[in-house]
Amino acid sequence: MKIPKALGALLLTIMTTTIAVGAEEKMTYEKAMASHKATYGKYSTQSITEAQSQKSWDDYKQRPDENPSGANSVISRKYKLIWQAPTSGGINTGNFTLTESFRTFDEIVSFGTMDNGTYYQHFRFTPLEYDIAVERKGYATMYERDSVSWWGKFAADNKSFVTAGENAKLYEIYGVTFTSDTSGSGSCTSGQTQTRTTYCSGSNLQTCEPGEDVKTCSAAGFWGTWQISRHPSCVTGTQQCR
């Protein structure tokens, strides 16, 4: 019986595929581990080990110590001006020196704009975040918003900042200390007030002007809840502050 050409070609294709499948090498556990070590496993030999990263994280003061008395506590920030531009127009180049080491504080906040003086914003970083940036890149960011930034590194005194590059203006730099108010009843004087600075918190929002919350001490000597005194001024996306 003569096989049609089309059927013969189909049978040849099936036989070829069967042979190829049968000859395919099976994946074993040993081969899978060897493949892993040749790719992702190589990152385990980096200069910063997992143990070192964890120790740096554990050593850094993430928040004030827990209050052993069990009373309610409120984390607040105390700001101290540690550098200010010599003129109200800010600086757009050069090095500068803080009044004290940035490592004295829990957090650093810088304020800057674009080179033309618009888009006034703030930028926050901690000493730990600075160390990680210098370890990995050789420099750290002093101020950054979108594509506008100022970068370099501190000298050995942790006060003198050596600028490596910038496309921004700097105006002020504050050192921030985290504090915890764990006091209970009778912790304030009637009529006494406290304020705190607020910022735009949305993922696509930028702060043009900070807002302010205020709380007042009652006649019984208890702190009231925070009330909005002034909303922060915000813009979205790539919009610029006015």
Q: What is the pLDDT of residues 115-137, one digit of tens each?
A: 999 889 999 999 999 999 999 99
What is the distance between the alpha carbons of residues 110 and 121, in angstroms, rounded to a whole number?
8
pLDDT at 91: 96
Both 147 and 130 in one domain: the answer is yes
Pair of tokens at residue 116 = 């033309």
Structural domain contains residue 3: no
Among 225, 127, 116, 215, CA closest to 175: 127
> Strand, helix or coil at 4?
coil
Predicted TM-score (pTM) of the model is 0.49
Number of domains comprising the chain: 2
Mean pLDDT value of segment 157-172 = 96
Residue of 238 and 91 predicted with greater confidence: 91
Confidence of residue 2 (pLDDT cuts 50, 70, 90): low
233 part of a folded domain: yes
Are 88 and 124 found together in one domain? yes
The reply to whether 46 falls in a domain is no
The residue among 182, 210, 228 that closes a domain is 182
CB neighbours of residue 56 within 10 Å = 14
> What is the residue range of 161's domain?
70-182
CATH code, domain with 124: 2.60.320.30
150 pLDDT more than 90:
yes
Say if residue 98 is in the same domain as residue 193. no
Residue indicated by tokens 């003086």: 117
Mean pLDDT is lowest, of 77-81, 103-107, 222-226, 233-237, for 222-226
8 A C-beta contact, residue 163 and residue 152: yes
Residue 20 clears pLDDT 60, i.e. is over it: no
Please check whether residues 95 and 175 belong to one and the same domain.
yes
Residue of 148, 124, 107 whose CA lies nearest to 238: 148
